[in-house]
Amino acid sequence: MKRKKRIIGIVAVLLCIASLYLVQKLLMPKYSADIFEGALIEDYYNETTEHQVVFIGDCEVYENFSPITLWEEYGITSYIRGSAQQLIWQSYYLMEETLSYEKPDVIVFNVLSMQYGEPQNEAYNRMTLDGMKWSGSKIKSIFDSMTEEESFVEYLFPLFRYHSRWSELTADDVTYMFSKKRMFHSGYLMRVDKKAAGSVPEGKILDNYQFDDSCYEYLDKMVALCEEQDVQLVFIKAPSLYPYWYDEWEAQIESYAKEKGVPYVNYLEEIEEIGLDFSQDTYDGGLHLNLSGAEKLTRYFGNWLKENYDLTDYRENEELAKIWSEKKDFYDEMKEDQYRELDEFGYLKSYGAREVTNED
């Protein structure tokens, strides 16, 4: 009798935990209808092979580089571990986490996030942190990222944070409970639409152009980690026309990179050489490149990689060729679908774009 009661008790507790787990899975945002960026970080864990090059950073990496092009043109395997407004400490911990899964030859870090020395915004934090698998890196990243209003327990049990979503549930919340909608190409978020850049305002005068000490600390950590792991670290500044990249910031990065012996390339200074045309190669007026621009930049960057690093061309490797052929098929399918939507609706209706009106 006692044994029976004990078993019932255990079953009850397990059922309780399972129910809460399922409810949590149901209520967490799926990022399947819009704000697809929220699913970027988690997508990495679907990869089945290692990569020679890993990009880390904010939207200036995941919207501006095409791993498929890097493969097609150079046989270089790559992945972009990007997320929206990814902060430098989040980048460091993603780097640390990535290196627990694989050892790339090169890690490329976009330096725009050096402008943020403090936690910024819960919504962006969530998009970087919720998708990470639990690890020491994730825990440290959460503690360094939380704004005053946030608490660790809400990251540990996201149900506490998202319980109010019950009124916003859609069929997608059930469909994508255990795996997200496939939207990315080794971490690249594709946009084929076009919106020419007009005049981009110069940056405001700042009272302080010095990057925060905390940002330099994480840059130091990145350098040390890559040295320790024998991974080549590269700094870049993507050729996005906005947010404004100050000369004072450029000077600091150049100086730091020189001091540490880390290669740094500012692609804002090589727009002509890359062949970028901001009347054609951007989908949002110069903030991010569209597919055409991303492929041009990737071709240019790939050439630089080839010239500076001894990276194997794996296009003749049967196993990798098969995997990347499938990735290429999906890439082409999405490209075709996006062009179809542009023809049909005038904007990328299913891809997070806003409807173009006569006022635009």
Rounded distance between C-alpha atoms, residue 210 and residue 204, angstroms: 15
Is residue 216 within the footprint of another protein (CB under 8 A)? no
Question: Which residue stretch of 34-42, 170-178, 297-305, 323-331 sits at the interface with another protein (rule: CB under 8 A)?
Answer: 34-42
Nearer residue to another protein within complex by CB, 49 or 170: 170
**Six-digit token pair at 252?**
């600091």
- The verdict on 126 binding another protein (CB under 8 A) reads yes
CA dist list (Å): 44 to 106, 276, 280: 17, 29, 30
What are the structure tokens assigned to 74, written together? 């150079």
Q: Which is nearer to another protein, 1 or 318 (CB)?
A: 1
The answer for residues whose C-beta is within 8 angstroms of residue 163's C-beta and 6 or more apart is: 27
Nearer to another protein, 104 or 286 (CB): 286
268 part of the interface to another protein, by CB under 8 A: no
- For another protein, the closer of residues 29 and 302 by Cβ is 29
Q: Which of 177, 225, 271, 287 binds another protein (CB under 8 A)?
A: 287
In 142-167, which positions are buried (b, 16+ CB within 10 angstroms) versus exposed (e)? bebbbeeebeeebbeebbebbeeeee
Q: How far apart are CA 23 and CA 166, in angstroms?
A: 10
Contact with another protein (CB under 8 A) among 205, 213, 259, 343: 205
Task: Say if residues 275 and 252 touch (Cβ distance below 8 Å).
Answer: no
Q: How far apart are CA 214 and CA 198, in angstroms?
A: 35
> Should residue 6 be labelled a site residue for another protein when binding is judged by CB under 8 A?
no
Contacting residue, 146, 285, 315, 317, with another protein by CB under 8 A: 285
What is the closest distance, in whole angstroms, from the C-beta atom of residue 117 to another protein in the complex? 14
By CB under 8 A, name the one of 48, 199, 357, 358 that touches another protein. 199
Candidates 200, 320, 323, 356: give the one binding another protein (CB under 8 A). Answer: 200
Q: What is the 3-state secondary structure (H, E, C) of 210-245?
A: CCCHHHHHHHHHHHHHHHHCCCEEEEEECCCCCCCC
The site for another protein, by CB under 8 A, has a size of 46
Q: CA nearest 118: which of 92, 146, 81? A: 146
33: contact with another protein by CB under 8 A: no
Backbone angles phi, psi at 23, to 5 degrees: -65, -40
Residues 55-84 within binding reach of another protein (CB under 8 A): 58-59, 84
Query: Which residues on neighbouring strands pair with residue 264, listed in sequence order?
Result: 235
- Judged by the rule CB under 8 A, the positions of this chain that interact with another protein are 8, 12, 15-16, 19-20, 23, 27, 29, 34-35, 37-38, 58-59, 84-85, 122-124, 126-127, 159-166, 168, 198-201, 204-208, 242-243, 284-285, 287, 354
